[in-house]
């Protein structure tokens, strides 16, 4: 006698096998999808890294291919004023009254009585004046406006050498335009390609100074100011300014000044303006031309009396005795 359940056994086994086979197919599809997804992500990452490497390599190569230009007519990162033309007359802003502020440096007082001779213009040492300026520094503006006329006078009389050192300490104070750096670069362009116009351009930058935390002048406007200052080869100067040709030099000059100033006793740049007279920092009022003039006159006198001067021999200085 046969059982009624035996015919159902193969059917149940076939259903389980079909379900297991279907599950294996789904698992295989999911595995393939994971592999494809992982491979795609890895490929994208590799592509991004490769593109980044190409960009970095291009940037480095491009930067390396551009020479780090340095200006000419420069000494220890400073520009000596060779002419004071183009700054206006003594009646303009910065004029000085008669008295201590207006006196010639040739009038160094003689403090030692006879037989030491009074210094002559030929014997008197020339005063060395060095001015570190940031073209966004209000103090640099104040000093220039107050002293431009007497500085011009001393240079024109060959009583002083005057050197300006453009630095960029306030580069971050112009809404991201890096005005201090661009203005210093522009000054170097003028000093390099038209040194005779440097003093006038330097004066224009300082007396017409933009406000701190403003955008400052554009490179085109700086080039226009240079042209108005009477530069030679205006196209060459304009190209130099608009390309910011000496921006890297200006940044390096600022860093060097912060480390120490040449020909001084451990003096470094701490702010602008920094004015040195015969290597000694001026710490008086920036907007008082008389006080600065007195400091310069004192420095000139100290320089004279610290150097050997001709003396009169006793036989020359003695009054002759009348012969009876």
Lowest mean pLDDT among 9-18, 40-49, 221-230, 256-265: 9-18
d(CA 304, CA 322): 37
Residue 213 region, left (φ>0) first, then alpha (ψ -120 to 50), else beta? left
Q: Which of 34, 153, 7, 174 is nearest to 94 (CA)?
A: 153
End-to-end CA distance of the chain: 186
For residue 146, name the pLDDT band (cuts at 50, 70, 90). Answer: very high
pLDDT tens, residue by residue, 175-230:
999 999 999 999 999 999 999 999 999 999 999 999 999 999 999 999 999 999 99
Which residue's structure tokens are 């930058």? 205
Tokens of 229: 């200052």
With CA atoms as reference, report the closest residue to 270 among 143, 167, 146: 167
Give the per-residue pLDDT at 21. 75
Q: Is the peptide bond before 115 cis (omega within 30 degrees of 0)?
A: yes
Over residues 34-43, the pLDDT tens digits come to 878 877 787 7
Whether the Cβ atoms of residue 167 and residue 269 lie closer than 8 Å to each other? yes
Cα–Cα separations (whole angstroms), residue 194 to 87, 188, 289 = 16, 10, 29
What does the buried/exposed string (b/e) look like for 141-160 if buried means 16 or more CB atoms within 10 Å of the residue's CB? bbbbbbbbbbbbbbbeeebb
What confidence score (pLDDT) does residue 52 get? Answer: 66
Report the range of poorest mean pLDDT among 2-11, 58-67, 258-267: 58-67
Comparison of pLDDT for 34 and 6, the residue scoring more = 34
User: Does 101 have pLDDT greater than 90?
Assistant: no
Which of the residue ranges 75-79, 94-98, 272-276 would you say has the lowest mean pLDDT? 94-98
Please, which residues have CB within 8 angstroms of residue 69's CB and are 6 or more apart in sequence? 245, 246, 248, 249
pLDDT higher than threshold 70 for residue 61? no
> Which CATH superfamily includes the segment(s) 79-305?
Glutaredoxin (3.40.30.10)
For the record, the structure tokens of 43 come out as 């490929």
- Give the residue extent of every domain in the chain: 79-305
Say how far apart CA 294 and CA 79 lie, in whole Å: 25
List the single range of 11-20, 72-81, 157-166 with lowest mean pLDDT.
11-20
Segment 261-280 shows an average pLDDT of 94
Categorize the per-residue pLDDT at 3 as very low, low, confident or very high, splitting at 50, 70 and 90. low
The sign one gets for the Cα dihedral 238, 240, 244, 250 is: negative
3-state SS track over 163-204: EEEECCCCCCCCCCCCHHHHHHHHHHHHHHHCHHHHHHHHHH
- Confidence at residue 306, expressed as pLDDT on a 0 to 100 scale: 59
Res. 262: pLDDT tops 80 = yes
* Residue 125 pLDDT grade (very low, low, confident, very high; cuts 50, 70, 90): low
pTM of this structure: 0.69
């Amino acid at each position: 006698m046969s059982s009624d359940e035996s015919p159902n056994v193969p059917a149940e086994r076939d259903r389980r096998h079909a379900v297991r086979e279907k599950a294996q197919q789904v698992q295989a599809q999911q595995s393939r999808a994971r592999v494809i997804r992982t491979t795609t992500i890895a490929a994208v990452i590799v592509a991004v890294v490769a593109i980044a490497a190409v960009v970095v390599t291009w940037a480095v190569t491009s930067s390396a291919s551009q020479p780090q230009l340095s200006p000419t007519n420069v000494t220890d990162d400073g520009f000596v004023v060779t002419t004071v033309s183009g700054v206006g007359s003594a009646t303009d802003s910065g004029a000085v009254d008669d008295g201590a502020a207006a006196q010639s440096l040739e009038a160094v007082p003689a403090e030692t009585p006879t037989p030491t001779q009074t210094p002559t213009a030929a014997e008197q040492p020339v005063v060395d004046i060095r001015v570190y300026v940031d073209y966004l520094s209000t103090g640099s503006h104040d000093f220039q406006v107050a002293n431009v006329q007497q500085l011009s006078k001393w240079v024109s009389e060959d009583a002083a050498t005057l050197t300006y050192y453009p630095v960029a300490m306030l580069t971050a104070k112009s809404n991201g335009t890096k005005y201090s750096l661009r203005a210093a670069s522009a000054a170097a362009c003028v000093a390099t390609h038209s040194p005779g116009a440097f003093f006038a351009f330097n004066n224009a930058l300082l007396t017409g100074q933009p406000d701190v935390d403003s955008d400052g002048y554009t490179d085109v406007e700086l080039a226009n100011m240079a042209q108005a200052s009477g530069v030679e080869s205006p196209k060459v100067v304009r190209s130099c300014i608009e390309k910011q040709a000496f921006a890297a030099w200006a940044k390096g000059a600022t860093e060097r000044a912060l480390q120490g100033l040449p020909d001084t006793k451990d003096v470094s740049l701490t702010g602008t303006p920094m004015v040195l007279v015969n290597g000694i920092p001026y710490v008086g009022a920036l907007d008082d031309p008389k006080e600065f003039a007195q400091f310069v006159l004192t420095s000139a006198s100290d320089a004279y009396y610290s150097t050997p001067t001709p003396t009169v021999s006793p036989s020359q200085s003695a009054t002759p005795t009348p012969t009876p």
